Structure 1
Amino acid sequence: MKNGNGNTKLILLHPYIQKQGSSNRLWLLAFISFFTLAFLLTLIYTRDSIPTTVAAAASAAPKSANPLLAKPVVDALVHYASNYNTSGHMSNAELKMISDVLRKCSPPCNFLVFGLTLETLLWKALNHNGRTVFIDENRYYAAYVEEKHPGIEAYDVQYTTKISEMNDLIAYVKETIRNECRPVQNLLFSDCKLGLNDLPNHAYELDWDVILIDGPREYWPEAPGRMSPIFTAGVLARSKKGGSPKTHVFVHDFNRKVERVSSKEFLCKENLVESQDWLGHFVVERMEENVFQFCRNSTSSSSSSSSSSS
Structure 2
Amino acid sequence: MKSNNNNNTKLILLHPYVQKQGSSNRLWLLAFVSFFTIAFLVTLIYTRESLPTKSTAALAAAATSSSISTTAPLPTTVINTLLHYASRSNDSFHMSYSEIKPISDVLRKCSSPCNFLVFGLTHETLLWKALNHNGRTVFIDENRYYAAYFEELHPEVDVFDVQYTTKMGEFRELIASTRDQIHNECKPVQNLLFSECKLGINDLPNHVYEVDWDVILIDGPRGDGPEGPGRMTPIFTSGVLARSKKGGNGKTHIFVHDYYRDVEKVYGDEFLCRENLVEANDMLAHFVVEKMDENSYQFCSNKTSKSASSSSSS
CA distance in 1, matches of 2:281, 2:95: 10
| Alpha-carbon distance, 1:177 to partner | 1.0
Q: Report how far residue 58 of structure 1 moved.
A: 9.1
Q: 1:185 aligns with which of 176, 185, 190?
A: 190
Whether the aligned pair in 1 keeps the contact of 2:121 and 2:220 (CA below 8 Å) is yes
- Which of 242, 246, 253 is 1:241 aligned to? 246
Which consecutive unaligned segments of at least 5 residues does structure 2 have?
Answer: 1-10
Give 1:19's match in structure 2, choosing from 20, 27, 30: 27
1:235 positional shift: 0.3
Report the counterpart of residue 3 of structure 1 in structure 2. Answer: none
**In the alignment, which residue of structure 1 is the partner of 2:50?**
42
1:158 to 1:51, Cα distance in 2 relative to 1, 3 A = farther
Partner of 1:107: 112
Q: 2:148 aligns with which of 127, 143, 149?
A: 143
Q: CA deviation at 1:176?
A: 1.3
Q: Distance in 2 between matches of 1:195 and 1:16?
A: 100
The one-letter code sitting in structure 1 at the alignment partner of 2:40 is: I
- Structure-2 separation of matches of 1:125 and 1:94: 17
Aligned length: 298
Give the structure 2 partner of residue 4 of structure 1: none
Q: State whether structure 2 residue 275 is matched by structure 1 residue 270.
A: yes
Deviation of 1:130 after TM superposition, in Å, equals 2.2
**Are the equivalent residues in 2 in contact too, given 1:93–1:276 (CA < 8 A)?**
no
Counterparts of residues 1-310 of structure 1 (less than 5 Å):
14-39=22-47, 42=50, 66-217=71-222, 219-299=224-304, 301=305, 303-308=306-311
- What is the DSSP-based 3-state SS (H/G/I as helix, E as strand, rest coil) of the residue aligned with 1:267? helix
Which residue identity does 1:176 align to in structure 2? Q
Q: CA deviation at 1:73?
A: 3.3
Distance (Å, rounded) in 2 between the aligned partners of 1:72 and 1:54: 25
CA-CA distance at 1:255 after TM superposition: 1.6
Partner SS state of residue 35, structure 2: helix
More deviation, 41-50/276-285 = 41-50
TM-score, length-scaled by structure 1: 0.83
Return the structure number with greater helix share.
Answer: 2
Q: Which runs of 5+ in 1 are unaligned?
A: 1-8
The letter of the residue matching 1:185 is Q
Question: For residues 279 and 100 of structure 1, what CA distance do their matches in structure 2 show?
Answer: 14
Structure 1 residues 73 and 49: CA distance shift in structure 2, 3 A = closer
> CA separation of 1:308/1:44 partners in 2, compared to 1, >3 Å: closer, same or farther?
farther
Structure 2 letter corresponding to 1:39:
T
Deviation, structure 1 residue 188: 1.7
Instruction: Note the C-alpha offset of 1:120.
Output: 0.8
- Range with bigger deviation, 48-57 or 264-273: 48-57
Cα shift at 1:118:
0.3
Q: Distance in 1 between matches of 2:24 and 2:81?
A: 86
* Superposed displacement of residue 44, structure 1: 6.8
TM-aligned CA deviation for residue 50 of structure 1:
7.0
Counterpart code for 1:98: I
- Report deviation, 1:35: 2.0
Structure-2 residue corresponding to 1:5: none
Q: Distance in 2 between matches of 1:217 and 1:148?
A: 22
- 45-54 or 203-212, which deviates more: 45-54
Q: Match for 2:107: what amino acid? A: L
Q: Distance in 2 between matches of 1:160 and 1:53?
A: 54
Cα distance between partner residues in 2 of 1:286 and 1:51? 45
Between 1:34-43 and 1:77-86, the stretch displaced more is: 34-43
Q: Which amino acid aligns with 2:140?
A: I
CA distance in 2, matches of 1:290, 1:245: 17
State the percentage of identical aligned residues: 59
TM-score norm. by structure 2 comes to 0.82
CA distance in 1: counterparts of 2:262 and 2:184, whole angstroms: 27
CA RMSD of aligned residues (A): 3.1
Range 140-149 or range 190-199, more displaced: 140-149
Structure 2 residue matching 1:89: 3-state secondary structure: coil
Report how far residue 273 of structure 1 moved.
2.1
SS of 2:252's equivalent?
A: strand
Look up the equivalent residue of 2:35 and give its one-letter code. Answer: W
Report the CA distance shift for 1:15/1:73 in structure 2 as closer, same or farther (over 3 A). closer
